[in-house]
Copies of this chain bind each other. A is one copy, B any other.
Amino acid sequence: MLAAVPVDAFAVLAEPTRRRILDELRRSESSVGELVDLLTVSQPAMSKHLKVLREAGFVSCRTAAQQRIYRIETRPFQTLDEWLEPYRRLWSRHLDALERHLDNQEEPR
């Protein structure tokens, strides 16, 4: 089953270790063992975090012999980006106002 974002994306990202995992996978895909070595996390803990990330759609994995190679998925990040959009408008509006203000400052020359 595909878990259609049942788990809250923010809750998933609230875990620092999971963000480090994503940060690593953003650079390149890796096996569980590689991640265990890179970040300092026990193997069971790593598997659990990966499970959470997987079920939230942040990563996918393929089987290569006895290894599972994990890679990052972009959809959840896009969703997050969309969520952020209205707030982004908020501060870019402020920036616009600031620019106008600065322009007015310069005008008198």
Chain A interfacial positions (CB closer than 8 Å to B):
8, 10-11, 13-14, 16, 19, 22, 26, 72, 74, 77-78, 80-81, 84, 86-88, 90-91, 94
Taking CB atoms, residues of chain B closer than 8 Å to A19 are 10
Task: Name A91's closest neighbour in chain B (CB-CB).
Answer: B74
Chain A interface, >50% SS class: helix
Q: Is the CB of B74 within 8 A of A26?
A: no
- Find the residue from A22, A90, A94 having the highest chain B CB count within 10 A: A90
B-side contacts of A22, CB under 8 Å: 87
List of B residues within 8 angstroms of A84 by Cβ? 77, 80-81, 84
Q: Which residues of B contact A11 (CB under 8 A)?
A: 14
